[in-house]
Amino acid sequence: MSTKINVAPHAALSLLKRDLSLSLTRGGGPLLAVGFYLTLMAMIPLSLGSDSTTLSRVAPGLTWLSLALASLLSLERLFERDYEDGLFDILRLGPLPMEVIALLKCLAQWLGTGLMLAVLTPFVMIILGAPVDAAFISLIGAILGSLSFAIIGGIGASLSLGTRKGGVLIALLVLPFYVPPVIFGAGLMQAYLTGAPITQALSLLCAYALFALALGPIAMGAALKSALS
Amino acid sequence: MITWLANPERFTRVFAPIRPYIGGLAAVLFAWGLYLCFASPEDYQQGDTVRIMYLHVPAAWMAMMVYLIMGIASFFGLIFRHALADAAAKAAAPIGAVFTALALITGSLWGKPMWGTWWEWDGRMTSVLVLFLFYIGYIALHASIDDEVRAAKSTAILALVGLVNLPVIKFSVDWWNTLHQGASVVRMDGPTIAPEMLWPLLVMTAAFHALFVWLWLVRIDAEIITRRYRTLRARLSFQ
């Protein structure tokens, strides 16, 4: 008699590992998003002028905007390949519910690219003229923000599975939902730089990330099931 | 009631005879409302431009209400699999988008003489703009999925996610607004509205509702007919 073991945690862990290694290695890994992020950063002074007082005033906001846009890039491939080669049909037979599968895939994607972008954020902000002591708080903000972006983005990616307009459609669906984290994130930086208390912005940013974590998997699970049926 | 009406044929049978009357009601209400708009006195501060309000405010109300209706219809379509609820949600979206665009355009036209600017990044205007983007996203998603059943399901999920998120976005935009500009006074809730201005507003609101219901019913019916046509064509091509 075999003892009954709960296989779900093992399955979850191996799926996370697989997806993480894929997101780190496949197609240049996070290089694409990072390159895009840095290119956007370079375009900002080119379009606004190199005047340092102007730049330092808009640096936090534009960095958040660039982070949001760079987070969009990898969404198209988030579920697409596994959907096309039939992996989802196999995963469906496994012990994990679709909601958890979707969440794990988003988390792997976030660990692979989103976190990388978040680590870059303080540097981008400083190069654009923000003070160096804002680095830590901008890193915290960017970690929370990129997590929200990854999960909300996953909803858009799962909804547009199997459509022909993939990328642009995802951007259109997802960007309105990026409004709150962009506002709270840029607000956090602004509060920090003006010396106002940061707890409100920070807790709202946390709240949105948790909200996305709670709501996102349900929506993604439903969308994936509908795409697979 | 909703289950009973979920049968497309029954729906057509019940509403097709009523529909012209609703259209007529909308026309009468619009005639009456527009007459009241021009008969109502000028505002002591805003002058003639106050009449834009009678179009602007009902349009903005409808923009939100239609989204709510879409959300409710999507809920029924998703949970109870009522095909008609899917059609109802799909049919409401472009109407809602037009009401939202109307609210934005009339607001902009009103803003120029009143605030001296076509656009102000005020919390309320920004939220309505985001609402408009939602409508566009919803319509684009529906258009890009060929399979009708899947399209209905995906858009229903999007509508529900949007419905949950809209208050959050509204809140965040209001929060942002207080962060950025506390001083400028871009609020229209000045003195309580006078009865001679309330009446045209109420009649116009009723007119907008009647117009929406009429357009909605026409579009749902068109959707039912399109589906029937598609099924028939598919059946013929198999023979």
- What single string gives the DSSP state of each residue in B179-196? HH-SSS------SPPPHH
What ipTM score was computed for the predicted complex, to two decimals?
0.84
- Asked whether residue A184 is domain-assigned, the answer is yes
The answer to whether A227 faces chain B, any CB pair under 8 Å, is: yes
Domain span at residue A158? 8-228
pLDDT at B182: 45
Q: In degrees to the nearest 10, what's the CA dihedral of A29, A32, A38, A42?
A: 160
Residue A24: pLDDT over 80:
yes
Provide, rounded to the nearest whole percent, the portion of chain B with pLDDT above 70: 89
Residue B183: pLDDT over 60:
no
pLDDT, mean of residues A187-198: 87
- Asked whether residue A217 is domain-assigned, the answer is yes
How far apart are alpha carbons A25 and A8 in whole angstroms?
Answer: 26
Confidence of residue B185 (pLDDT cuts 50, 70, 90): very low
pLDDT at A3: 59
- Asked whether residue A2 is domain-assigned, the answer is no
pTM here? 0.86
Q: What is the pLDDT of residues B69-122, one digit of tens each?
A: 999 999 998 888 888 888 999 999 999 999 999 999 988 888 887 777 777 777
Question: Does the distance separating the beta carbons of A226 and B154 come in below 8 Å?
Answer: yes
- Asked whether residue A1 is domain-assigned, the answer is no
By CA distance, what is A171's nearest residue in B? B137
The answer to whether A222 faces chain B, any CB pair under 8 Å, is: yes
Q: How many residues does chain A have?
A: 229
Question: Does the distance separating the beta carbons of B136 and A160 come in below 8 Å?
Answer: no
Q: What is residue A75's DSSP assignment?
A: T
pLDDT averaged over every residue in chain A: 88
B132 contacts in chain A (CB < 8 Å): none
How far apart are alpha carbons B191 and B126 in whole angstroms?
Answer: 24
Are A91 and A221 within 8 A, CB to CB?
Answer: no
Q: Which of residues 11-50 of B touch A (CB under 8 A)?
A: none
How far apart are alpha carbons B79 and B74 in whole angstroms?
Answer: 8
The answer to whether B151 faces chain A, any CB pair under 8 Å, is: no
- Asked whether residue A197 is domain-assigned, the answer is yes
- Asked whether residue A93 is domain-assigned, the answer is yes
pLDDT at A161: 87
The answer to whether A199 faces chain B, any CB pair under 8 Å, is: no
A15-29, B33-47, B164-178 — which is least confidently predicted? B33-47
User: Which among A99, A105, A93, A121 is positioned nearest to A188, based on CA atoms?
Assistant: A121
A194 contacts in chain B (CB < 8 Å): none
pLDDT at A217: 94
Residue B181: pLDDT over 60:
no
> How many structural domains are present in chain A?
1
pLDDT at B1: 60
Q: What is the pLDDT of residues A71-101, one digit of tens each?
A: 888 888 888 888 888 888 888 888 889 999 9
pLDDT averaged over every residue in chain B: 84
pLDDT at A50: 80
The answer to whether B133 faces chain A, any CB pair under 8 Å, is: yes
Question: In terms of pLDDT, which residue wins out, A100 or B50?
Answer: A100
pLDDT, mean of residues B19-47: 83
pLDDT at B164: 87
The answer to whether B176 faces chain A, any CB pair under 8 Å, is: yes
Provide, rounded to the nearest whole percent, the portion of chain B with pLDDT above 90: 32
Are B66 and B49 within 8 A, CB to CB?
Answer: no
How far apart are alpha carbons A22 and A77 in whole angstroms?
Answer: 11
- Asked whether residue A3 is domain-assigned, the answer is no
Residue A1: pLDDT over 60:
no
